[in-house]
Amino acid sequence: MTTLRQATKPPGQAPPVFPPGQLSINEIYYTIQGECGWMGTPTVFVRTSHCPLRCVWCDSKYTFYEGKPKTTNDVIAEVEKHPTKHVCLTGGEPLAQLESFNLASSWVLVGIASMRKRYAGQDKKVMSAILATPHASYGMKLLIIVDHDVDPFNLDQVMWALATRFNPATGVTFINEATMNPLDPIAPGKAYGTKMVLNATEPKPPQPVPAIGIVKPPPETDRWRGILEKRWK
């Protein structure tokens, strides 16, 4: 049987080193995923270039040399033009470039949620629910919550909500000593730090408290009490 090591020729040239925040990209395109469990799902493919490996089965030799530097912000902006949440970071060999880690973690470090708020405190419920999800509890460090009339995919609208509905005195929540993504560029390898939530929703009045009545003991109470007293005497 041919092992991966036997099937790989000596490495080619290492990718060029770009300034921080940039990586070498061969192509970005939108199509239908044709492999794995996501087969059939509309996906944006981000193909890195300057692969230093030389697998004998390689069908992407054009990625060895063809590529242009792009910033991670440019890549994210291009990906977000397409109507899908599925992104495949592929090669080439993405892991040959350190910036690929930052690119991959950029998609989970910051989250924006839009909610239909009906009463005061409901935003905190939504915040807690989001931060309890596997993705957010693992690596999200900034969560922005906006009202339902703000499109969370439109950053201009999100900035408008922050400018007009966010109150710095009451709208910031810090969660210290939380689990974090170890790929976070500001604290690589730590997996531990602070999360922040910015609440840019409009204030609402509290939910009306329902009338509280006196709960009468059920009719069986005397019989149960008799049984317990007999047993524990």
Using alpha carbons, list the distances in angstroms from residue 5 to 13, 27, 59.
Answer: 18, 28, 18
- Cβ 11 to ligand SF4, closest distance in Å? 9
Give the position of tokens 């730590």: 190
Which of 30, 33, 45, 58: binder of ligand SF4 (CB under 6 A)? 58
Name the segment binding ligand SF4 (CB under 6 A); options: 58-66, 147-155, 179-187, 206-214.
58-66
Q: At what angle do helices 72-79 and 99-109 cross, to 10 degrees?
A: 50
Which residues partner with 159 through β-bridges? none
What would the two tokens of residue 62 be? Answer: 């054009």
Across 38-71, b (16+ Cβ under 10 Å) vs e yields eeeeebbbbbbbbbebeeeebeeeebbeebeebb
Which of 22, 48, 63, 114: binder of ligand SF4 (CB under 6 A)? 63
- Cβ 106 to ligand SF4, closest distance in Å? 23
Sheet of strand 68-71: strand arrangement? 68-71, 22-32, 42-48, 87-90
Which of 23, 51, 158, 183: binder of ligand SF4 (CB under 6 A)? 51
Please state, in angstroms and rounded to a whole number, the distance separating the CA atoms of residues 226 and 51.
81
55 interacts with ligand SF4 by CB under 6 A: yes
Name the segment binding ligand SF4 (CB under 6 A); options: 52-60, 122-130, 141-149, 162-170.
52-60
- Cβ 42 to ligand SF4, closest distance in Å? 23
54 interacts with ligand SF4 by CB under 6 A: yes
The answer for residues whose C-beta is within 8 angstroms of residue 157's C-beta and 6 or more apart is: 146, 150, 151
Please state, in angstroms and rounded to a whole number, the distance separating the CA atoms of residues 91 and 60.
8
Name the segment binding ligand SF4 (CB under 6 A); options: 23-31, 51-59, 101-109, 215-223.
51-59
53 interacts with ligand SF4 by CB under 6 A: yes
60 interacts with ligand SF4 by CB under 6 A: yes
Which of 22, 67, 93, 94: binder of ligand SF4 (CB under 6 A)? 93
Which of 15, 67, 91, 94: binder of ligand SF4 (CB under 6 A)? 91
Question: Residues interacting with ligand SF4, by CB under 6 A?
Answer: 51, 53-55, 58, 60, 63, 91-93
